[in-house]
Structure 1
Amino acid sequence: MRLLLLLLLAAPLLGQTAYFQQDVRYTIDVRLDDRRDELHGDIRIAYTNNAPEALDSIVFHLWPRAFSGAHTAFARQQLRNGETEFHFADPEARGTMDSLSFLVDGQSARFAFTREPDIGVLHLNEPLATGRTATIATPFRVKIPESFSRLGHVGQSYQITQWYPKPAVYDRRGWHGMPYLDQGEFYSEFGDFTVRITLPANYRVAATGVLQEAAERDWLLELADTTRDALANYEQVIAYGYVQEAYPPSASETKTLTYTAKRVHDFAWFADKRFQVLHDTLHPRAGAQDAVDVWSFFTRTESAYWKSSTDYLKRAVRFYSDHVGPYPYPQVTGVQSALSAGAGMEYPMITVIGLSGSAYALDEVLAHEIGHNWFYGVLGSNERDHPWMDEGLNSYYEGRYTQEFYPQHDGRIQLLPGRELAVDEVAYRYLARLGRDEAPDTRSDSLGEYNYWMGAYSKPNLVLNEVEQRVGRERLDEAFRAYYEQWRFRHPEPEDFYAALEPLGEAGYVRDAMTTVDEGAFNRLNWRPEGRTGFTLPKLSLLTDGERTRPQLFVSPLLGFNENDGALLGLALHNRTLEPRKVEFLLAPMYGFASKEVVGFAGARYRIVRPADWLRRVEISGGVQRFNDFDPPAVDGIYDYDRWALRTDFYFDHPVITERSSRLYSQLVHIDQRRPAFSGAGDLLEDARSVRYNLLRVGYRSAVEREINPARYGLQLEYRRGDPDAFISADYFRLDGEYATGYQYRPGKFLSGRLFAGYFLAHDLRERTTDPTVSFSLVDNAASDYGYDDLYLGRSQSGWYQQQLERRQGGFRAPIAAAFPYGRSNDYLAVLNLDGDLPLPVPIGIYFDAGTYGFRSTVNSDPTNQVKWVGGLSLNLLGDRFHLYLPLVADAETHNLLEQRGNLLDRLAFRLNLTGLLPWRWIDELP
């Protein structure tokens, strides 16, 4: 009977390690040296092993070392997210931790760093048995970095966070050593702290824990009274920011402040001689015995907003206490200070906020960060592995707080009167419909920057709002209160939260939403906006906005110009909302006032999202365009073209952390050119002749979008089938490849290179002289755009229209007229393009192009290997979408042809990426 009872009691633990929690007690003495921006400290840790097994080592976090160089996990993540400030920072601006010398129970112990410089392992002299306590001590020095993330300083304003040697969590899954990251927060063990801080006497300090010196508390209370009186009628907001506000000289005498904190998993403090102070008290819930101290510390910058900050703090603490559970700490503090990691950052009992911009924004951010005291502070989930368990659950209650106290702010943006946009829902569907969303229950260091916002914050909030609509707000609050009460100070995991939703019948729904990207798991979040059923006539609108319950068509006026058609006026009719659609179309007819013809373009696209685990999406698209491509003709319908194209793209799925993208594509292009027809006597006939040909392309493109040294490459096979009735059919089969890379040597300044090589595997004209429409070309102008793949201001034009160049093949920045048989080959082409931004405050650079190709001077002559080169100055504008090139040096033939163009202005070349400026073309490929 006793054995049966033991088995029944142990049943919930079968198959997993029993829950336990280590006991950690900290005593830290630290001195701030504000002349050198350093901390000098000694730490003593009483570490009690409550695990069922002995420990032979303890993993430590040494997170200030994350700021020691460009090789750390923090530095690598910064670059993945497009941030280069730390990478290019002066070494003196960076930080570190050193001077470590560990003792265990008074005896020296071996300490070794891991591959990540901010993680180390303390090897114990003898195993620490279950129930035994080891006393660990070490001195340490912290070089405080400038404000790149959380730990840092701006002048003599100090944000001291993640600053001391800290044991990692050892739980039922083992050690959780993790490097410091900016995106992706923490998992730490609960403990008790006694911290003594020594610093110049005129600093004002805000910290985790309770201040023990009565004289310092009295001084802060006096400052609070003075501040409240001074701000009673104060409305001014200082525009220049806290960075510019002068720092008083540091006092020559020092003071030591003592803070104690129990059952917290971190300790943070902030010191600034300019802080203004406010104080109040509150009882978080009715019947609470002990009052909670409420403190605010802030500079003059936004003091007009912060004068109400203690009211905001009190209201937030009461709100979360009522809906989630009682606030367990004796004080709560809000700080306005320098911050380079988001709008705010939470620590036990204290939060730091950057600049807010309005009283509402301050209240909202304070409420969100104060809310973390419940989900991050008391529950202490593993945010690195499950970021949604803190950010997402907290965002749901922050939204509730906003609804209650600011009903006019409901998470929507008003585009026009009566037209609102639900930002979170639009952002979710935007990523999902491109196959770029990731499951929220993904490690934070494996999420892209947009997906971290969506997965950790927005999607869990949307899902919990869906649950609320199904079960009711009160029942959901009851489930949260039970979850909080059961798991406070115990590190719950996702299954523990799902279990709390079992009584509501929503555990499976929430689990699927957090662990998959299956759209079938959703209602309001899926492909069809809620409320739309059956066929409904579309609604016509002028401005694109979010999806509504009724299909939408958008009409926009179009203005354009090209030299061949003249001024263009028309309309664009499309169904693209701010979110990608499964089926999208665009119809854009325009009237050319010079050609006196209706021209324009039309197209449609169909998306298939995630047809396989390894495939992000498939896009099938088709389109047609018609424009004139010569001088405005004397006879209508001559010298225009139709381009029909059908394309399929397969976008492969790669982990975001690899920064890689790749796709396989095929394209069929049909070109129909109208050209003058002449009689045998040479008379112009009324009916134009048609020149038709087809292009079949199959290719692969891949890119690694690293911030410092990006790279891309691709291969393409192209088959051309000419018009069999034409005088020369010019069929060919060709292979070409491209590789491009670069190096960012200082912020926004690149050295870059491109290699292009192509070879005709078969060509009807290989044994003939070149033909500009089907040859490889060093100079990519309108005449060499045989597939009509790009948009030009003028085609087949003389003058400056020939100076518009692209980079399809040779990419030479030399505007040589197409009339010259220059740089063309029916055999092969190999080119090197080099660019270098000059280290100047203006976007000026230098360029150099060199190429070789096979050229036949006469029919059936032996090919000669021609080598050409050109170099000069460049100007890059409009976010790299407009380039201006001035060739200055070249080989003899190239130089001669450039001189024949005329003066320097006539030799200028430019690239204008008109195709890339089409809005949906570039916005759907945001990183």
Structure 2
Amino acid sequence: MRKIAWAVFLFPALAFSQTLPKPFLNYTITGELDTAKKEFSGTCLIRLENRTPKALDRLVFNLYPNAFRNTNTTFMRESGGVKGQPKEFLDSGYLIVEKVTDGAGNNLAGQLNETIYTLPLRTAIGSGQTGTVELKFKTHFPRPVERIGWTKNGSFIFAQWYPILAKLDADGEFRAYPFHYLSEFYSNFADFDVTVTLPNGYGFEATGYPLRDSVIGGKRSFQFQAQTVVDFAAMAVPKAKSYSRIFQGVLVTFFGPKSNEAKLTEIFLAAESTLSYTARTYGPYPYKKLVIAEAPVGAGSGMEFPMFITASFANLPPLIGRLFFREIIVHEIAHQYWYQLVASNQFEEPWLDEGFTTYTTAEVLERYHSAHPIWATRLGYELSAVTFNTLFFQRFGIYDSLASKSWEFVTPRRLFSNMYAKTYLLLTTIKRHIGPLRTNVMLQTYYDKYRFSHPTGRDFLNVAKDFVPDSILTPLTKWLYGVPPVCDYAVGDFGSKKEKDKLFKGKIDLFNRGDFAFPVGVKVIFENGAVKETTWTGETKAVRMEVAGSAKIRSVEINPGRKLALETDYTNNFKAASGSKAGGWAQVLRMIYGMESITSWLTAL
């Protein structure tokens, strides 16, 4: 039996869109999965066009499954082992290169250092030339760990499962890293042509567009092709079900076990809202297919790959499971822009993809899936992404700089509180100072300039200079790259004295109780309802501000509306005159803030 590729009929000429830049790298992978041995055996033919000024006398590959080979690897030492894994987990994850030949048929021999495989070439690939090598390899799948693995029901997750050429920089140097416990990945854009043969009865979904599905002799072969992507991932599931919808011109497919209509509605609603927001805010999704695969328990709650995401929906808490369920899907689809298209270095600057994705996720959830947060406008308090990220950062992230490499963070919580929470608070502060529209244009400019390339944090800040005033961006940059200083402003005592011509002269004590100077707003409300707003630079530890008005001062608020989202304590931002109704509200809202802070703090444990 042979099936013709549906992509040709559904999306003529889209599988090979001419709008995508042509990468210098091409993979052709062909092989078969032995489900009993948990092994994939095949060949990986690599064609490389050298666009650097330097002749390449060696190639460097990442063989990531070797991180799970034994307890002595970098990953296992840093993680302390994988909790909950059975004894047979050890020595069960690896990738062996069995033979290598170049385009002239010469046999080559490489050297393996854990996960990094260095391959000297018989003939260097000169600048402007094209070279090929073919690697015969075998990948043994472990139990589900760090994305890759197999499950008891016979499912297989193909994640970082093949020999991956290390990132080749423009100067001709390879950028290869050991597989660290707290690191993700950094890869070249490439074209892929992948054929996987499985036992008949298996379903298969992957990055790219399916071109062939054939059954011969009790085996089933799938061929997929993808253009200009940074990785190729897949999942094989026995008796799998697929459910599809089209949103924003993208065929979205849920792949996994049989699902009920309510679950599918939630999945596709989250996908539609995310694709709608990102297309309108950043730019259209350049591919015409996206797979949401239900990953087995143990493979992580969610993971992003080009045109393919995984999400685990089992064992979610019954009360908050629905919200978490949506957030997983929204977050992983947002990653299609931040890393899969704007492919920053996840080893050295993880904040550029996780932080931007966290910000995008919060924007989508607030716009389309609001959980009706509690608002307390007198203090500017909100139970929202700002509150959670502030408390998570305050609890775990105050000791580190984002200049740290991913493997330099001491614990996962300290890594997450920085690359997720800290970056989110930075972008939110920018949005609250220059406005949502200008922020969107800034992010769209950054996306347009660096999609299908590999920007750094400095590249983003150079874009931001055109949108954010120096008075805002300069202190934010220091906060971003330094050990995060405490940011805490407070209102002290104030009073008013009647002067001539029925004017009242007021004096207000303001304090900078942290060690971070940032221009912050001050809002003064008088007894007759008049409002006066001004700005304090925060450059001194304290200041006595003088204001004049036609009535006594009723209340003072510093950092109104939480424009400075980096502040860690809002309870001292508001003060009302003795006997004022606003004073009673302030006490009540401080109690609310304290209760909600404790709740959010506990969720971060």
TM-score, reference length from structure 1: 0.49
Q: Which residue of 1 aligns with 2:202?
A: 203
1:549–1:500 distance in 2 versus 1, CA, 3 Å? farther
Q: Which residue of 2 aligns with 1:475?
A: 438
Q: Deviations over 1:699-728 (max 9, x none)?
A: xxxxxxxxxxxxxxxxxxxxxxxxxxxxxx
Structure 2 unaligned residues grouped into runs of 5+? 1-20, 376-380, 487-515, 519-563, 579-586
Q: Which residue of 2 aligns with 1:133?
A: 130
1:313–1:215 distance in 2 versus 1, CA, 3 Å? farther
Pick from 529, 536, 540: which aligns with 2:570?
529
Shift of 1:323: 0.8
Pick from 332, 344, 348: which aligns with 1:369?
332
Q: Which residue of 2 aligns with 1:158?
A: 156
Pick from 320, 328, 333: which aligns with 2:278?
320
1:99–1:407 distance in 2 versus 1, CA, 3 Å? closer
For residue 102 of structure 1, give the secondary structure of its aligned residue in structure 2: strand
Shift of 1:304: 4.2
Amino acid at match of 1:123: P
For residue 293 of structure 1, give the secondary structure of its aligned residue in structure 2: strand
* Cα contact 2:39–2:139 (8 A) shared by 1: yes
**Counterpart-to-counterpart distance in 1, 2:458 and 2:131:** 33
1:319–1:548 distance in 2 versus 1, CA, 3 Å? farther
Q: Which residue of 2 aligns with 1:212?
A: 211
Shift of 1:138: 1.2
Q: Which residue of 1 aligns with 2:532?
A: none
Pick from 292, 296, 302: which aligns with 1:334?
292
For residue 101 of structure 1, give the secondary structure of its aligned residue in structure 2: strand
Q: Which residue of 2 aligns with 1:43?
A: 44
1:508–1:302 distance in 2 versus 1, CA, 3 Å? farther
**Counterpart-to-counterpart distance in 2, 1:524 and 1:366:** 26
Q: Deviations over 1:480-504 (max 9, x none)?
A: 1111111111111111111111122
* Cα contact 1:532–1:549 (8 A) shared by 2: no
1:324–1:439 distance in 2 versus 1, CA, 3 Å? same
Shift of 1:403: 0.3
* Cα contact 1:403–1:410 (8 A) shared by 2: no
Amino acid at match of 1:138: L
Q: Deviations over 1:40-88 (max 9, x none)?
A: 1101000111111112211100111111001112112221xx85445x7
Pick from 225, 229, 235: which aligns with 1:260?
225
* Cα contact 1:379–1:488 (8 A) shared by 2: yes
Shift of 1:110: 2.6
Is 1:167 aligned with 2:168? no
Shift of 1:99: 4.2
Indicate the larger mover: 384-393 or 252-261: 252-261
Pick from 393, 407, 410: which aligns with 2:370?
407
Q: Which residue of 1 aligns with 2:404?
A: 442
Q: Which residue of 2 aligns with 1:383?
A: 346
Shift of 1:123: 0.6
Q: Which residue of 2 aligns with 1:512?
A: 478
Higher helix share: 2
Q: Deviations over 1:21-48 (max 9, x none)?
A: 9711010002111111110110100011
* Cα contact 1:56–1:128 (8 A) shared by 2: yes
**Counterpart-to-counterpart distance in 1, 2:588 and 2:343:** 39
Q: Report percent identity of matched pairs.
A: 24
* Cα contact 1:56–1:126 (8 A) shared by 2: yes
* Cα contact 2:428–2:565 (8 A) shared by 1: no
**Counterpart-to-counterpart distance in 2, 1:29 and 1:552:** 60
* Cα contact 2:102–2:133 (8 A) shared by 1: yes
For residue 399 of structure 2, give the secondary structure of its aligned residue in structure 1: coil
**Counterpart-to-counterpart distance in 1, 2:135 and 2:30:** 11
1:518–1:134 distance in 2 versus 1, CA, 3 Å? same
Amino acid at match of 2:31: V
Q: Deviations over 1:740-775 (max 9, x none)?
A: xxxxxxxxxxxxxxxxxxxxxxxxxxxxxxxxxxxx
* Cα contact 1:531–1:549 (8 A) shared by 2: no
Amino acid at match of 1:451: R
TM-score, reference length from structure 2: 0.73
Q: Deviations over 1:514-553 (max 9, x none)?
A: 211133166343354276157999xxxxxxxxx9975999
Q: Deviations over 1:411-448 (max 9, x none)?
A: 99xxxxx995822111222336xxx5312332111112
Structure 1 unaligned residues grouped into runs of 5+? 1-19, 217-250, 285-290, 413-417, 538-546, 555-574, 580-919
Mapping of residues 635-674 of structure 1, within 5 Å: none
For residue 525 of structure 1, give the secondary structure of its aligned residue in structure 2: coil
**Counterpart-to-counterpart distance in 2, 1:22 and 1:263:** 6
Shift of 1:129: 1.2
**Counterpart-to-counterpart distance in 2, 1:366 and 1:482:** 25
Amino acid at match of 2:417: M
1:382–1:536 distance in 2 versus 1, CA, 3 Å? farther
Q: Deviations over 1:547-575 (max 9, x none)?
A: 99759999xxxxxxxxxxxxxxxxxxxx9
Q: Which has the higher contact order (CA 8 A, sep 6+)?
A: 2
1:103–1:410 distance in 2 versus 1, CA, 3 Å? farther
**Counterpart-to-counterpart distance in 2, 1:411 and 1:167:** 49
Amino acid at match of 1:438: D
Q: Deviations over 1:197-243 (max 9, x none)?
A: 11112111110000012779xxxxxxxxxxxxxxxxxxxxxxxxxxx
**Counterpart-to-counterpart distance in 1, 2:577 and 2:446:** 44
**Counterpart-to-counterpart distance in 1, 2:362 and 2:593:** 32
Mapping of residues 422-821 of structure 1, within 5 Å: 422-431=387-396, 436-447=398-409, 448-505=411-468, 506-516=472-482, 517-519=484-486, 520=516, 523-526=564-567, 528-529=569-570, 532=573, 550=590, 578=598
Shift of 1:281: 1.8
1:35–1:553 distance in 2 versus 1, CA, 3 Å? closer
Q: Deviations over 1:169-190 (max 9, x none)?
A: 1214732111224432110000
Q: Which residue of 2 aligns with 1:648?
A: none
Amino acid at match of 1:353: A
Q: Deviations over 1:350-391 (max 9, x none)?
A: 100012634443222111101111111111110110001001
For residue 376 of structure 1, give the secondary structure of its aligned residue in structure 2: coil
Q: Which residue of 1 aligns with 2:527?
A: none
**Counterpart-to-counterpart distance in 1, 2:87 and 2:348:** 30
**Counterpart-to-counterpart distance in 2, 1:147 and 1:315:** 30
Q: CA RMSD in A?
A: 3.4
* Cα contact 1:66–1:74 (8 A) shared by 2: yes
**Counterpart-to-counterpart distance in 1, 2:285 and 2:421:** 25
* Cα contact 1:25–1:45 (8 A) shared by 2: yes
1:93–1:339 distance in 2 versus 1, CA, 3 Å? farther
Mapping of residues 43-62 of structure 1, within 5 Å: 43-62=44-63
**Counterpart-to-counterpart distance in 2, 1:124 and 1:61:** 17
Is 1:297 aligned with 2:255? yes
* Cα contact 1:56–1:124 (8 A) shared by 2: yes
**Counterpart-to-counterpart distance in 2, 1:188 and 1:132:** 21
Amino acid at match of 1:335: A
**Counterpart-to-counterpart distance in 2, 1:130 and 1:150:** 36
* Cα contact 1:411–1:423 (8 A) shared by 2: no
Q: Which residue of 2 aligns with 1:702?
A: none
Amino acid at match of 2:270: Y
* Cα contact 1:25–1:193 (8 A) shared by 2: yes
Q: Which residue of 1 aligns with 2:27?
A: 26
Shift of 1:337: 1.7
Amino acid at match of 2:401: A
1:22–1:58 distance in 2 versus 1, CA, 3 Å? farther
Runs (4+) of structure 1 exceeding 6 A deviation are: 534-537, 551-554
Amino acid at match of 1:529: Y
Is 1:119 aligned with 2:134? no
Shift of 1:150: 0.7
* Cα contact 1:388–1:441 (8 A) shared by 2: no
**Counterpart-to-counterpart distance in 1, 2:189 and 2:374:** 34
Shift of 1:164: 0.4
Shift of 1:405: 1.3
1:378–1:530 distance in 2 versus 1, CA, 3 Å? farther
1:136–1:369 distance in 2 versus 1, CA, 3 Å? same
